[in-house]
Structure 1
Amino acid sequence: MRRPEPGPELSMEGDVLDTLEALGYDGPLLEEQALIKAVESGLSSPEFSELCIWLGSQIKPLCDLEESISSTAGSEDIESFQLEISGFLKELSCPYSTLISGDIKDRLKKKDDCLKLLLFLSTELQALRILQKKKLKGSQLDKNNEIYQEVQAICDTLCLPKSTTSDIPVVLSHVESKMKDILSKVQNNHIGKPLLKADLSPEQAEQLERINDALCCEYECRRRMLMKRLDVTVQSFGWSDRAKVKTDDIARIYQPKRYALSPKTTITLAHLLAAREDLSKIIRTSSGSTREKTTCAINKVCDLLSVESRLEREVFVPWLCSQIFFFPLFKACF
């Protein structure tokens, strides 16, 4: 592609051509004369309008803009097209005041203004692509670091010496050897049989990951609901006259335990692979053995909590109370 001769009057055209080529644009305006003719015609040039639309379509997904530059249906839509460009530039905080202020009909009549528009959009796209690439690279490094830290934690648990290499497969081979050595010294049924006996293919593992993600979202919603009900229940304890004077005592007991509760689940595919057969045994929440571990003194005042169903009175409240060691709080309130 032939470049313009060096000179102050053609420096902006040269910058635009270089930037468009670097961005991978393969339209007709990569030619010097075609670009000059298009910017002289402004929005009357279909090629100029199409280039603006292409740049806008490339920029929008990279920075999640509300405004966009859409295609025009003819010369009667030029004013609407100018409005779209102005809104798009304002959202991008364009530094060229001539492109975002003044009479809307006069903003792109001059050749220099059209060149400024192309230069701004093309360099903005170039910068956004660089930032996106760095972000993706950084996230991949973070993921690799997280995996390495998990593997290193396994090595620390197994009392393996610090590895001199960061090659994860090599470290995992040392872990496997250590595990085989440990298992050879215990009884055959010490750990139990795995719950999942089949070998997973990469496709099956990905599908299980998606299923787990969906379940985690569902469980998070339920956990948030339970935690909200817990907050409301604790607030109801402060309604009595005796409890109002002990607000600080309630907060001192309750808040540390409340902040320790997280709405997000930590279950991953690794838990499935590590699960043993005894995990599949179903125990009713209302069974005698379970109720022995979930009963507490607060059961005597369940009616004060306005619980709507028998299931909640007999299962939910005792379990919830026992999980956060509610009895000291109950004593502080009453």
Structure 2
Amino acid sequence: MTQPLLSAHNLVKSYGTTQALDGVSLAIGAGESVAIMGASGSGKTTLLHTLAGIITPDGGQVVFQGPASPVEVSALSETDRSRLRRESFGFVFQQGLLIPELTAVENVAVPLMLSGYPRREAEARAQHWLQALGLAGMEARRPGELSGGQAQRVAIARAQVTGATVVFADEPTGALDSHTSVDVLNALLGSTVSQGHTLVMVTHDEGVAARCSRVIRVRDGRIVSDSGAAAAPGNPGGHLNAGVQAGHPGAPQSQQYTQQTHQTQQFTQNPYDPQGQQAPSGAQREVRPMFYGDGWGVASAATLPADEMPASQIQVPANVPRGYPLQPGTSGYPQQAAPYGYPQQPQGRPHHNGGQHR
């Protein structure tokens, strides 16, 4: 069985007489997108911060599968935990927590500069991520000159610029309107999971949670439900949750685009389009991440019975590595109607290469 990327064993944490965590254990695989839900005071934020090494538990262990060997996060010194957070973890918070005196590109470059990168190289990498997240031309703006959604995308770029293996997000859409929340969530899921990285996110929003491959619910410091608890090897997220279709940016890594290939997935359960129409039995879909300038989506050539979709009909650039954003205008899928399981093109949104914005 695949070694978990991040695991917790019997975590305990108290604040005075309040038991924030009461024997919490879980395992998270590489490429998962995990939503942690619960009422205020349930312990969900304490769990997130403990997994991230921000909070030290009173008891129990947090283990991160590092590049060389497992690391017991909870046993590290503060200096070593800071290094781990800087080099392997990324963070997105509800209010962004950008440095107000710095420009967008400077904010994104900070983690790289703290890791020893020369300023010029750090800012070049930061600029790439800002452009990839639809913020070209805004590099010189300060946080006070950005909208809430733009500021959150700067925070996402900052979380991703170091190549973080795990991104922790604490209510990343909580302060945004519903329309902006969709854009930010698309950017967060697309830029994380499409690269095979892991997203662990606290949210109150059921709609946001449904976009993740796994939902964990917490009450009184304990996990009361976990949709991925019975996950099978090779699919750490277990069963896909409602609203998450195979090939969606929030789907488990096993169903994501693989480097320099376009893969076909066989549906084990028939998906439904937004009008509730059932896809043909045995339908397949070829998918890959597509970038739209203001978020990530999935392009699909067709959803047809397998014997009606020869590979010759699918035109996929073979030279775009996994996780790298396809820029508008890149040759790809032909324009066509939205496939089963995906919404029609939203009003007023760009429509690139037959991809359906999600």
TM-score under structure 2 normalisation? 0.21
- Between structure 1 and structure 2, the one with the greater Rg is 1
Larger relative contact order (C-alpha < 8 A, sep ≥ 6)?
2
User: Which has the larger strand fraction?
Assistant: 2
TM-score under structure 1 normalisation? 0.22
User: Which has the larger helix fraction?
Assistant: 1
